[in-house]
């Protein structure tokens, strides 16, 4: 087998507790990989030349097991075919694996040497790491050496620990066939679990017919994390598509949604959702629903409380990968209640809180205030402006430009001349009248006949 070939290349015997040897071997042959090891150093035997004492798992040419020093193997429980056992395995989260520990007293049958208080122990690590060893130990009070060990190596690209599956330990031999005899769960304890041959009394005779396997299950558990995602969306009431932002008319109804999803690997309890409505947006009482795996039809379960817009709605507890949706209906402000003329962005915030923290998201509704332009008292002048007051035009003052002065002088001169002429004509008239009065009166015609 692979690890035994490696061991024979380095040394016929490698003690797993000899750290220096293991480090040198790894550095020389496979510097990036840790291989399974066995121990302690001990004499080896063959089927042709078995041991003259009680010693376990030291025959190198077992027709079924090969080199018995490699006596701990592993395979996935889903692999029900014979064989398939390995010394090293890349494991996956959540899967279960069988671990097998082979037990064989190598003493010659003719010597009738029986191992007493024979026990099998498994060291199953529980810490988090990317690589673990499960160490299997076979011991007996009268064995030489008293205990032997081997291990398997488990690897993953993620940190994991190993859990023993309760009730899974069994002992299989020529007496306890099939699924074997169930053993107590003490195999992972310091004392291990006792085995035997025809009964569980710790007595195991020497020879092939008395060998057997102890098997037990383990489960791989990746590092547990607590995390979640949440989001806030909105849609127009009566539609089906959820969005981060929509446009709507004043006074219409919209539906809000707060979503949660457990993205971690542990169950999260008491998930609280709180929604903070924008100013002017009114919650429709009794409209809250909760959709999750238990209530997956339509909008889900009708919630009797309205706490989602108050102290918060408890969504419940959720296992890894599960989700929930809290939904409710609200009414947008009427046109005359909108603060701004034109577009108003009503931003709605929501928070989701778990035992590990709080996350926040928001959705927008854009509502346009219409017919809100100012009235005008006259073109271009808004009502209320000072320019809207009626002003009476002032009377026109006489013009006194050069042309007007000249025209005035001419007029005055004309008037003066007229007056002078008037008085002159009057005087001449008086003189004529006076002269007429001093002449005789003519009574005959001057016409000649």
Based on the domain organization, do 77 and 205 belong to the same domain?
Answer: yes
Note whether residue 395 is domain-resident.
no
- Verify that 184 and 279 share a domain, yes or no: no
Question: Do 253 and 150 belong to one domain?
Answer: no
pLDDT value at residue 371 = 87
Same domain assignment for residues 191 and 237: no
Return the structure tokens found at 427.
């005087």
Q: Which of 340, 369, 398 represents a domain boundary (last residue)?
A: 369
Beta-carbon contacts of 277 under 8 Å, excluding residues fewer than 6 positions away, are: 283, 309, 330, 348
> How far from the centroid of its chain's Cα atoms is residue 44's Cα?
58
CA distance 222 to 158: 7
29 Rama sector, left if φ>0, alpha if ψ -120 to 50, beta otherwise: alpha
206 & 279 share domain: no
What CATH number is given to the structural domain containing 303? 2.60.40.740
- Helix (DSSP H) and strand (DSSP E) numbers for the chain: 3, 26
Residue 389 belongs to some domain of the structure: no
Domain-terminating residue out of 190, 207, 222 = 222
Pair 196, 85 in one domain: yes
Q: What is the pLDDT along the chain (449 residues), one digit of tens a residue?
A: 434 433 333 333 333 333 333 333 333 343 445 566 899 999 999 999 999 999 999 999 999 999 999 999 999 999 999 899 999 999 999 999 999 999 999 999 999 999 999 999 999 999 999 999 999 999 999 999 999 999 999 999 999 999 999 999 999 999 999 999 999 999 999 999 999 999 999 999 999 999 999 999 999 998 888 999 999 999 999 999 999 999 999 999 999 999 999 999 899 999 999 999 999 999 999 999 999 999 999 999 999 999 999 999 999 999 999 999 999 999 999 999 999 999 999 999 999 999 989 999 999 999 999 987 666 677 777 666 777 776 555 555 555 555 555 555 666 655 656 655 555 555 554 553 455 444 443 333 334 33
Of 222, 242, 259, the position where a domain reaches its end is 222
Is the domain of 299 the same as that of 274? yes
Q: How far apart are CA 150 and CA 38, in angstroms?
A: 4
Based on the fold, state whether residues 287 and 356 are members of the same structural domain.
yes
Q: Is 322 a domain residue? A: yes
Contact predicate 268/356, CB 8 Å: yes
Q: Which of 51, 45, 186, 206 is nearest to 116 (CA)?
A: 206
Task: Give the number of domains in the chain.
Answer: 2
Contacts 24+ apart (CB under 8 A), 192-201: 192/119, 192/120, 192/121, 192/122, 192/137, 192/139, 193/119, 193/120, 193/121, 193/169, 194/117, 194/118, 194/119, 195/103, 195/118, 195/119, 195/120, 195/171, 196/118, 197/173, 200/171
Residue 28 lies in a domain: no
For 66, 220, 226, 268, 318, the CA distances from 356, given in Å and listed in that order, are: 52, 24, 7, 9, 13
**278 within some domain:** yes
Whether residue 215 is found in the same domain as residue 233: no
Q: Are residues 188 and 131 in the same domain?
A: yes
Domain that holds residue 233: 228-369
Are both 206 and 124 inside the same structural domain?
A: yes
Residue 275 and residue 297 in one domain: yes
Residues 6 or more apart whose CB falls under 8 angstroms from that of 245 comprise 234, 363, 364, 365, 366
Q: Is 429 helix (H, G, I), strand (E, B) or coil?
A: helix
Q: Is residue 334 part of a domain?
A: yes
Is residue 416 a part of any domain in this protein? no
Q: What is the pLDDT of residue 29?
A: 40
In a domain, 26, yes or no: no
């Amino acid at each position: 087998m692979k690890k035994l070939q490696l061991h024979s290349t380095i040394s016929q015997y490698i003690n797993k507790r000899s750290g220096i040897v293991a480090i040198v071997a790894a550095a020389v042959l496979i510097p990036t990989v840790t291989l399974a090891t066995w121990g302690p150093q001990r004499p080896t035997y063959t089927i042709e030349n078995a041991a003259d004492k009680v010693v376990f798992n030291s025959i190198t040419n077992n027709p079924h097991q090969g080199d018995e020093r490699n006596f701990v193997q592993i395979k996935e429980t889903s692999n029900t075919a014979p064989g398939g056992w390995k010394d090293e395995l890349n494991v996956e989260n959540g899967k279960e694996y069988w671990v097998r520990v082979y037990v064989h007293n190598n003493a010659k049958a003719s010597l009738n040497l029986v191992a007493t208080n024979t026990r099998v122990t498994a060291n199953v690590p529980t810490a988090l790491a990317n690589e673990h060893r499960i160490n299997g130990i076979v011991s007996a009070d009268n064995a030489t050496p008293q205990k032997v060990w081997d291990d398997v190596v488990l690897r993953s690209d993620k940190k994991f620990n190993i859990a023993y599956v309760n009730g899974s330990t069994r002992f299989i031999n020529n007496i306890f066939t099939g699924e074997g005899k169930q053993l107590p769960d003490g195999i992972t304890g310091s004392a291990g679990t006792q085995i035997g041959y025809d009964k569980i009394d710790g007595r195991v005779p020497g020879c092939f017919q008395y060998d057997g396997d102890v098997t037990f299950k383990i489960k791989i558990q990746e590092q547990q994390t607590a995390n979640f995602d949440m989001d806030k969306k909105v849609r127009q009431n009566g539609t089906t598509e959820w969005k981060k932002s929509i446009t709507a008319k004043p006074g219409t109804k919209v539906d809000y949604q707060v979503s949660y999803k457990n993205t971690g690997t542990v169950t999260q309890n008491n998930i609280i959702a709180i929604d903070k409505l924008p100013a002017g947006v009114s919650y429709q009482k009794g409209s809250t629903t909760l959709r999750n795996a238990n209530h997956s039809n339509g909008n889900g379960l009708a919630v009797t409380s309205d706490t989602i817009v108050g102290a918060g709605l408890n969504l419940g507890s959720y296992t890894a990968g599960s989700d929930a949706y809290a939904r409710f209906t609200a009414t947008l402000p009427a046109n005359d209640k909108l603060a701004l003329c034109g577009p108003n962005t009503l931003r709605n915030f929501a928070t989701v809180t778990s035992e590990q923290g709080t996350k926040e998201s928001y959705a927008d509704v854009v509502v346009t205030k219409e017919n809100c332009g100012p009235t005008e008292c006259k073109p271009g002048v808004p009502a209320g402006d000072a320019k809207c007051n009626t002003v009476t035009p002032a009377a026109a003052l006489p013009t006194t430009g050069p042309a007007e002065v000249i025209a005035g002088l001419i007029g005055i001169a004309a008037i003066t001349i007229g007056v002078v002429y008037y008085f002159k004509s009057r005087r001449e008239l008086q003189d004529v009248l006076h002269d007429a009065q001093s002449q005789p009166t003519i009574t005959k015609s001057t016409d000649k006949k």
